[in-house]
Amino acid sequence: MKLGRVILPNDEYHVAAIEEQAVRVLDMSQVENCRRLSDILHAPDPIGLTKFLIDRQFAPVAIEEVRFLAPVDQQEIWAAGVTYKRSQQARMEESEEGASHYDRVYSADRPELFFKATPQRVVSPGEPVRVRADSDWSVPEPEFAIVLTPGMKVCGYTVGNDMSARDIEGENPLYLPQAKVYTGCCSIGPVITLGGSDLDLGSVSVRLQIARGGEQVFEGETTLDQLHRKLDELAGWLGRELDFPNGAILLTGTGIIPPDEFSLENGDHVAIEISNIGRLENPVIKG
């Protein structure tokens, strides 16, 4: 089952269940203290609650008639790095001084975790993500994102775009926050697929497509079984010394990185698709 935050053709906002061709509006007044998408996600039985909340008086709305907002309420967005072999190699290639650090963190017990975005800074599907004006080598990083309850339990999955300035990050590992955290650096959505940490990772593929001037200039694909860390492991480290009363969304890393000679340009179009979870599309602006 999939959930989302949508704007209907009449400009009304709703939390909705997302079907293949339509959305079903949820009546959030039926249950006390259930007013936001995250209230459903953090419930003991999100699927059962969603089915109960479907407003049977409200006709289904065709999916192409709604606008999707990022499926985020008040959750912080965090990210894990160097969780795929390809990511480890890319980090080492771009950073002469920090290469050994990235080599060691790939196999270390403690993962690399970093803050990515506040809720209000998350870009909705279809809205522009940004390349920093002071970066000449930036790429999108397609990421499988896990949705976490306040108790750090996986309750769902979505698609994430972790925009990254590789030149800034490669210049000095201490510049990582500037390479990763800036206005327009993160998009999430369009929906959340309910589920737990028992997902069969080998059955899930991730695809990145980048178009420029209507022509495809890059395409890459991987599967989640290339992820070096377990989902519960990443969630456990994130919650080890931090409280998340609103839950959190954790980007789990990327296994697809364009070649070194590639950099995003103004007007590019990024599409990230994760099988059975969703397809996230954003135009690109620079500066």
185 and 126 within one domain: yes
**Where among 33, 52, 69 does a domain terminate?**
69
Pair 59, 81 in one domain: no
pLDDT value, residue 201: 93
Please give the tally of structural domains in the chain.
Answer: 2
Q: Are 237 and 111 in contact (CB under 8 A)?
A: yes
Domain of 263 in residue numbering reads as 76-286
- Domain match, 250 and 134 both: yes
Same domain assignment for residues 131 and 229: yes
- 276 and 155 both lie in a single domain: yes
Q: What is the pLDDT of residue 84?
A: 86
Domain match, 193 and 98 both: yes
Task: Average the pLDDT over each of 62-71, 169-178, 275-284 and give the range with the smallest value.
Answer: 169-178
Tell me the average pLDDT across 15-25.
97
Residue 17 has pLDDT above 80, yes or no: yes
pLDDT mean over 123-135: 98
Cβ-contact 196, 1 below 8 angstroms: no
Same domain, 48 and 119: no
- Structural contact between residues 79 and 251, judged by C-beta atoms closer than 8 angstroms: yes
Question: What's the pLDDT tens digit per position in 73-124?
Answer: 999 999 999 898 655 555 555 555 545 667 788 889 999 999 999 999 999 9
Q: What is the pTM of this model?
A: 0.93
> What is the pLDDT, as a whole number, of residue 99?
53
Q: Are residues 65 and 108 in the same domain?
A: no
Q: Look up residue 220 and give its two tokens.
A: 């890459």
Q: How many CB atoms lie within 10 A of CB 177?
A: 13
Under the banding of pLDDT at 50, 70 and 90, the label for residue 40 is very high
Check whether residue 120 and residue 242 sit in a common domain.
yes
Say whether both 63 and 80 belong to one domain. no
pLDDT at 155: 98
Which residues, at least 6 apart from 154, have a Cβ–Cβ distance to it below 8 Å?
A: 146, 147, 148, 195, 196, 197, 231, 232, 235
Q: 44 and 80: one domain?
A: no
Q: Which of 24, 43, 69 is the last residue of a domain?
A: 69
Distances (CA, A) of 223 to 162, 193, 256: 17, 17, 10
The CATH code of the domain that includes 138 is 3.90.850.10
Q: Identify the domain boundary among 53, 69, 85.
A: 69
Token output for 109: 């017990």
Identify whether residues 135 and 41 lie together within a single domain: no
Residues 6+ apart with CB under 8 A from 139: 163, 164, 166, 257, 258, 262, 263, 264
